[in-house]
Amino acid sequence: MAHPRPTLEFRRGDVLVAHVVVSPEAVWFQGHFPGAPLLPGVAFLALVEQALALFWSDAGRPPVEIRSFRRVRFRQRVEPGANLRIRAHRVEGERLRFSVEAGGLVACSGECVVEMGTLKGFASPFGPPPATTPRSLPPSGTSGPAPSQPHPLATLAPSRSASPNSPAMVRGEQRGRARSARGGQGGRRSRSPRRGARRLPTRLQEAFGQIAHKQ
């Protein structure tokens, strides 16, 4: 059982075009399906990965390795002996968009995230990696982690260990005494009737007063 090998058709900048003929003897058709062989979905992704690994690198670009696939769609069936065209181009950063065509129709499409090779002398066309903040190390001759720095907002919070004579403590004691004094005079203060509240007419008040007097 042979594995089809893509052949380069076009390469310029961040655009790659390759083609491959899937032979009926390819291992992918074994058991998929008996009596009606079809190219499985994993074979499309393997061909895209192989084309990028073979032809993406050049004098100014190191090899790439696919880290993940996403938004993959399978649209057409591919039978043994089909001639496939693989297209790939960079969208932004390390994200590439690809498609696999069969007979002029898109059989598979999607995106992949690649990782640049670490070959010496190559500069990544996707730009330098993001900067990282180095960890602070303890002074020489000491063990254990370095002392943590206070948060910038910590200086804005009031100190809990204020002195008894501080203005905040004095105001707090005054408010406490005022609450105690109000509580000793009968608890909560009686609320005055709300403005606009309905009152009984004068005649009804007099009638209720007479009834209460007779009782």
CATH number for the domain harbouring residue 43: 3.10.129.10
The C-alpha torsion from 40 through 46 and 51 to 53, rounded to 10°, is 180
- Whole-angstrom Cα distance, residue 94 to residue 116? 8
pLDDT, tens digit, 9 for 90 and up, residues 46-90: 999 999 999 988 756 677 889 999 999 999 999 999 999 999 999
Cα of 171 vs its chain's centroid, Å? 48
171 DSSP β-pair partners: none
Domain count, the chain: 1
Domain coverage including residue 80: 7-116
Q: Is the residue at 194 inside a domain?
A: no
Q: Is the residue at 109 inside a domain?
A: yes
Selection from 46, 47, 51, 2 nearest residue 24 by Cα: 2
Average pLDDT over the chain, rounded to an integer: 75
Q: Is the residue at 57 inside a domain?
A: yes
Q: Is the residue at 45 inside a domain?
A: yes
pLDDT, residue 208, reads 64
Confidence check: pLDDT of 15 > 60 = yes
The shares of helix, strand and coil residues in the chain, as percent rounded to the nearest 5, are 25, 25, 50
Q: Is the residue at 88 inside a domain?
A: yes
